[in-house]
Each structure stands twice: as C-alpha cells, then as structure tokens.
Structure 1
Amino acid sequence: MKSINLQRTESLLMELIPMALSSLADTRINSLPITGVNCKNGKYDAIVYFDGSDYDKEEVKSIISALNKANGRIKTDVLASTGWYKCPNFKFELDTSLEKSKHIEDLFAKIKKTKSSEE
C-alpha cells in the first residue's frame, strides 16, 4: 500500500501534467488524456499513463517520442507550479487497462448471449 504523501503526489501530478501538456505547441500531445501516474522510488521516478486508444502503433510511438522530447519542459512547469526542489523523471506509457476492460466486457457479453441462446 502506498503512503498518503505518495498518493497525494500522484494526484497532484495527474492535475499538473495535462496543464503542462496543454501549453505545448505539439497538437499530438497538448490534449492527450492522462489516465494515471504511478510514482516509484519516492518522488524520483513516475510512470505517466495516457489513453492512446484512438491511435495506431506507429502514432503511439511518435507520441511517446514527442512526450520524451517535451519531458524537460513538463518538469519545468511542474516545478514552477509546486515549488518542489526536485521533479520526478517521467516515463510515458500507453495505458492498456481501458482495452483490457473493454475485452472483459466483450467476453461477458458473449457469455450472456451464449447462456440466453441455450435457454
């Protein structure tokens, strides 16, 4: 279980990262939905998850590349907003939990359909 301070940090980053992204000129990432932040090693590393369900694999790769290039600017904005001494190193990853939950819902629908056709 995570400490309250770490959960608070993740919550704050969930608010600040989209604000930092919105100030960027790159249209691929300035309105990208951030779905989660997972801090590791205290506040030294953070995995930032985004919803890329509307993009194919090549577009996701270019989005991650653009996010990595903007990493310094995002960190600067977060530091300016929080007054922290140090900002976590951000690693950006595609959030696949939405796809998994949709797949599970589809399976439940199939099961329901199969059961109703058997009756």
Structure 2
Amino acid sequence: MSVHLERTQSLLKELLIEALSSLEDSRISSVSITDVICSRGKYNAQVFIHTDSEDRAMVLKALRKASGILREYVLSNSGWYKCPKLEFVVDESMARAQSLERIFQSIAQENEAEKKA
C-alpha cells in the first residue's frame, strides 16, 4: 500500500473521530472508529466502527443519515476537493478478541484448579 494512501486513511480517521464527537446524537457520538480503508482511487472508504450499543442496526442507520454532515466536516477541515463516500461497517474483531480473552482466562482458571487438586 502506498504511503500517500495510508496518510489519507489516517487523516480521514482522525477527522471522522473529531466529527463524531462534535455531533449531538448520543447514539453515534459514543461510537469509536477502529479503522478506515480507502479504495485505491479514494472514491469510497470503509469505516470500521465499534459500539457498545445492542441495537447496531439503529447506530448504522444513524451514521448513514449523518454521512453527509460527516463528509462536509472532512472537506472543510482537510482542504481536499472531494471526500470519499463513507460506508460504515461494524468491526467484529474487538468482539472476537474479547471472546478469545475469555477463553484464555477460563483455561488458565482450569489449569490453576487442576494444580491445586
């Protein structure tokens, strides 16, 4: 991947984090952005999010509605002449990492119980 594309993705991620925190909608202001992946031509960007909310569909719908505002924020603060189309995706890697951590903890507890017995 080119350095220019990585720099673009990093700046886009920072700007989107700022934009989300400035919104007054509590459903999406608490969303954290884990990663941004731009297409090669920078016309589209997948924005991976993590949310603690149980109703992820509602959060995604609110983010899709706010995408115009988010794109305007990015354009006004970046100096770019275009902003990629934003596609929001729930990042499942955090949940997988947490479940693996729970599995490792239970294995460690079982091993300790066997040593004591």
Q: Give the alignment's Cα RMSD to 1 decimal.
A: 1.6
Structure 2 unmatched ranges of 5 or more: none
Query: When you count helix as a share of all residues, which structure comes out higher?
Result: 2
Out of 56, 61, 65, which is 1:60 matched to?
56
Aligned residues: 115
Matching of residue 84 in structure 1 with residue 80 in structure 2: yes
Distance 1:117 1:20 in 2: 49
State the shift of 1:44 in Å.
Answer: 1.3
Task: Please state whether the residue corresponding to 1:70 is helix, strand or coil.
Answer: helix
Letter of the 2:80 counterpart? W
For residues 20-59 of structure 1, the aligned pairs below 5 Å read 20-52=19-51, 54-56=52-54, 59=55
Match of 1:72 in 2: 68
Structure 1 unmatched ranges of 5 or more: none
Letter of the 2:77 counterpart? S
Task: Please state whether the residue corresponding to 2:103 is helix, strand or coil.
Answer: helix
Per the normalisation by structure 1, the TM-score is 0.85
Contact 1:35 1:95 in 2 (8 A): yes
Distance 1:113 1:30, change over 3 A: closer
